[in-house]
Structures are given as C-alpha cells and as structure tokens.
Chains A and B, each alone.
Chain A
C-alpha cells in the first residue's frame, strides 16, 4: 500500500478540518454551537456590534499596552511596556491604514504615495495653528499664519487639503495600472517631498522641520493633554472617537454597493466595465477616500507630535510604512490593518528602546527587527497578523471540541487515537523504509 493512501479506517474525528466532530454523536452541544456561530455571524453584520466591540477594545487597549506588557516585561527582565502616547499613535496610524486598506485590500491598488496626503494634511493643520511668518516660493511676499489652533478646524482643513491633493494625483495615476500606478504615485509623493525641502522651505521651514504648532483645547475647554479617568487622556479619547468614526465610515463603505464594486475592481476590472460601471471613476473614488483617511491621520499626527519634518511627513519611506503596516496586519478585512499599525509602532517605539545583552540598545536597528517580524509573520500567516489570529482561534476551537467529544466518548476516543497513532506509525515506518540501506532506493527490498 502506498503511504499516501488514506486507510479506510481513519477515524472521522481526526480529520483536520474539524468537521464530523460532534455531529450525530452529540447533537445537543453541536446544535447549540451552531446557533452560537450563527449569532456571532449575525452580530458581525451589525454595525452597532462591530463599533461597540471596537469601542470596548479601545478602552482596554491602553491597559494592555502599558500595564499588561509592562508586567510581562518585568517578568522577563526587559522593558517592553508601552506608554500613553503610543496608544494614541497606534490609533492615528490605525485610521490611516483602515483607509489605505480600502485601496490596497479591496480595490487592489498599491499606492506608494500616500505620504503625500498624510504630510500635506499635517503641514496644513500645523500651519493653520501657527503664527509663523511664511514666504511662499518664487515671490518676495511674506505673510503671517492665522494661528487657528482649534483641533476640529485643523482636522477639517487637513483632511480637505488631502482630498484636494488626492483628486488630481488620482486622476493622473489611475490611468495606469500595476507597477506603473505604484511608481506614478511614488513620483508625485517625492515631488511634494522635494518641494517641501527646497522651494517650499519658506512655508515648511524645510530641513529644520516645522515646530510652531499651537493646539488649543478641544471645543475651547478640554486640554488634549489633560488626564481622564478610565480612558487615560483627553487626547486618547479624542483620537479614539475619531478612530471609531473612521471605522464606522469604512465599515459602511465595505457593506455598501460601493464596497462590493471596490472588491470587484480588485478581482476583475474588465468585468466591472462590462456590467456598465465606470471603472476609472470608482478607482478614483477609492483613491480619494483613502487619501482622506490619510489626511485625517496626518492632521492628528501633527497635533500629537507637535513637530513635523519632510522626512517623517512626505518621504516615500513613510508611504512604504503604510503599505507594510497594512500587509503586516492583513488586507481585505476591516480591522486587520490596525494590528499591523500596532505591531509597527510597537517595534519602532518600544522594542527600539530595549537593551539586549550582547548587541546593546536596539535603537535604530529596530527596522531590522521589524523586517524579521514581517518575514516570520508573512511566512506563517500569509493573511497577516489578523488572519493568523483567526486561524489560531479556529484551531483552538477545533481542539477544544475534540477534547469535549473525547471526554464524552472515552471509548471511541481511545480507539480513534489508537487508529491515528497506528497510521502515523505506518507512515514513519514507510519513510524510514525509504532511507538508504533500509530497503530504499539502492537498498534491498
């Protein structure tokens, strides 16, 4: 018998897909479980449930990040706990990648130029709040910035500028697809970067970076830095609410006819045209929407950091970081990219501060660590961190159901186990048989 052939007596219960466990043997629990699964699926389709769960996670998140990881760190002797600002930063990048995923994960358009929208929004919001003297390029004129530091106005202005920028860049880039699209977006982003460094330095303060950011209290009352019970700071609450808003909008888009069309565009563009839809306009719309998310994130970013430099705002590596975060977290589902944003920011801000025995402080080597993390995760879970977690949960559930089944049917379970062991044993023997000198090729039969 060939060792690949499945013996007839292989027990049902040990099939890897987990089907057949429970089933007729235990109709009660299986039925209940099924209805529970249906209920969960139903809940997932309800906006309130999705957003409510996300809100709950946002409340817990700082505690896990700071206290949870901190405790774990003191247990193993490394300082791996997060800090308050990091929680906000993760959510800011979370907003950006949720929007970026609409483009990359659903429409399957790979943009390497989203730093342009992020950076333009950051500079816009920062300049608006500033009272600095600026001199527009190619003129002798100079003007004083208005010093409007209202967070809501800064956000609106930043997002608006990002949209107005994404529009023409989208129109010019979407005419090409694949690599050409990616390179076009990269080029436009780089043009903006060099503008900010060179001719635009009178506005952006060039290589010195822009630091004259004066954020006023939210609604004139709540200072963003103020501490709050339960949700750490006003800033975290503010960013958290905007994150939930962004998530709601993205969830709506995914479940709207648009969402279906965006997904369809990723799968078969020609067919989308041949059901009578204007491919160009839908791709452009996806591009602009994701640009708006990046703009919102950029405006929040400068409020958070109070400083921006062309390299952190507009350089193509920043665009690449959005891509890495999205792929690392997982494309094609609403919340997945946020896990990538977390992992990215965690490695860059916390792991970089860890001191190792031989190497010393990791410091700027954090990109090396991130690279290794990326490779390991994508090898083991091609669908990203989120996809990996989903698979892990499924595997654990299957294992649990088998254990429950085994405890209810000890007799059958031990038979099944014995059958499985015998099968494995036969396979091991078959492999051993093939070894040279043991009846394998060149050996005696």
Chain B
C-alpha cells in the first residue's frame, strides 16, 4: 500500500523546470532509492515533499486511507471541464484532507516524515543527549504546549526515548559529548538519532554515506538495514554509491532532467535501456 504518493509534482525556478510532473509511490515498509545524475532534481523532490519548497504544481499525499488514491485516480482521469460539480467538490475534499502539499517543514514532521540532511544538521553546541532530547520533546509534547516554567527533568518520558534512540545509533557512550567534537560519521549518526526521535514512519536520507570512510559507510548501511527491519521504518534515500543502493534498496526511482525515467525493482532498473543510456552511460553493472 502506498505510504507516500506524489501526483504531477512540478517545480520551476524562473523558467527552469527542476522537477517535472513526478509521479512517485513509496510503499509502506520499503527502502526506496532515488538516483540520477547531478541536477536531476533528486534533492528538489525531497525538499518539495518535506516542505522546504512549495511546488509549482502537483499534489503530495501521505498515508491516505485505503481507496482514496484509487478514487482520486478515477476522478482525475476525466478532464476538469467534464467533471460534475459533485466530482469536483469530492476532489477538493480529498485534496483538503489527505494532501500534505504546501505544509511548513515542522508540520510535515508532525505528520510523521523526518529527514537527515546531506551535511549533518545537528546542534553543535549541545551535548549528543540534548540533541536527541530536543526531538523527543517536540514529538511528545507538540509544537507549542510546553510549559516554559517547568524544569526539563519533569518530563521523564523524554529521557527514555532519548536513551533508546542514542542506543539505536550506538552513541550511548558519547551522550555527554558536545556534538561539535564528535567525528563526522558520528555526527551523521546523531542526526539520524534526532530524526528517529521525532517518531517518524517515513525517513528521508539525503546521501547518508557522503564523505564517510569505508568503515563508517559500512556501519551506516548496517544501521539503515536495522532501522528498516527492527523499527519498521519506510526509508527513502538519495545516494550515489551504486553498490549500496543495489544492496539495500527494495525499489529504485531514476530521475533525469527532473522527470522519472524508470521506477521499479533494482533488477528492472538495472536492465532498463533508458536508464543505461541516460544515467549509467551504458556501463554494465
């Protein structure tokens, strides 16, 4: 079942179409990779979904009830002028209630979508524990319900989540260390812990192994696999390392010049002639 669906997602920057009518489905529980050459629109797509950018056109649906997407498909099959008033209003209702298009980043996170950035986006001056505490607090107590005259120790549930997430990324021994002084690989793992503490169902990872040593890369790959199997997370990652992708991805979407040119299982994508021509330069994998 589709957890995330984009319909005709489009983004133009003053004439340049960075993302061109992208229809993409992310199934619940899968690990999906988005690949493509530089400038293909991978990061823009993620930024559109996570609310950093507003799309020029198109819709994003997150975790809609069964049947809604099918209904949507049948409704949008007919041309806008041919729809009855009833159909038109039903379409508006669906878009109103199930679409996350145009939400602010913090609202998207509250829906259950987290993100780790290309460069470790952490709070450098705070300890690793405080870093994760931030996210746990936001997840448990919402955006504006925190009492500012109550001490932090008065929220014991936050502490438990924090410890659990630090353990999940194996940083429990460095909990008191200032985040800025952690090695690069650990910073990225800390960022993943922050993203996890927000309690997501869907996690976006922008080049999770970029700039890592082979050992760090290996442990990150293991971590991603564990997240998926143990926490049942759905993961979407943008990655350049083909070996990693074909190792861990359940499905792969290939972007080129803003458009999806292939979407399917690794085998399908590998054998797709368009992909070989456009992206892999015809090289046998």
Contacts and interface: CB of A to CB of B under 8 A. Distances in A.
Interface of A: 249, 252-253, 255-261, 263-264, 266-268, 270-279, 281, 285
A256 B143 contact: no
B151 A279 contact: no
B147 A256 contact: yes
SS of A interface (majority)? helix
A101 to B, nearest CB: 15
Contacts of A274: 50, 105-106, 109, 114-115, 117, 121, 195, 198
A255 B133 CA distance: 13
A266 B125 CA distance: 10
Q: Name the residue among A256, A273, A274, A279 with the largest chain B CB count within 10 angstroms.
A: A274
Interface of B: 50, 104-106, 109-110, 114-115, 117, 121-126, 130, 133-135, 137-139, 141, 143-144, 146-152, 155, 194-195, 197-198
26 contacts: A252-B148, A252-B150, A253-B149, A256-B147, A256-B150, A257-B150, A259-B148, A260-B134, A261-B137, A264-B123, A267-B124, A268-B124, A271-B121, A272-B134, A273-B104, A273-B109, A274-B109, A274-B114, A275-B138, A275-B139, A275-B197, A276-B139, A277-B138, A277-B143, A278-B104, A285-B148
A275 B144 contact: no
B152 A260 contact: yes
Contact of B149 (A249, A260, A270, A281): A249
B148 A260 contact: no
Contacts of A275: 106, 109, 134-135, 138-139, 194, 197-198
A42 to B, nearest CB: 13
Contacts, number: 102
A212 to B, nearest CB: 37
A264 B194 CA distance: 13
A186 B151 CA distance: 34
Nearest to B179: A267
Nearest to A268: B123
Given A277-B106, A279-B106, A257 B141 contact: yes
Contacts of A266: 125
Nearest to A263: B126
B100 to A, nearest CB: 13
B106 A260 contact: no
A257 B152 contact: yes
B163 to A, nearest CB: 16
A33 B50 CA distance: 51
Contacts of A252: 148-151
Contact of A281 (B124, B144, B151, B197): B144
Nearest to B116: A274
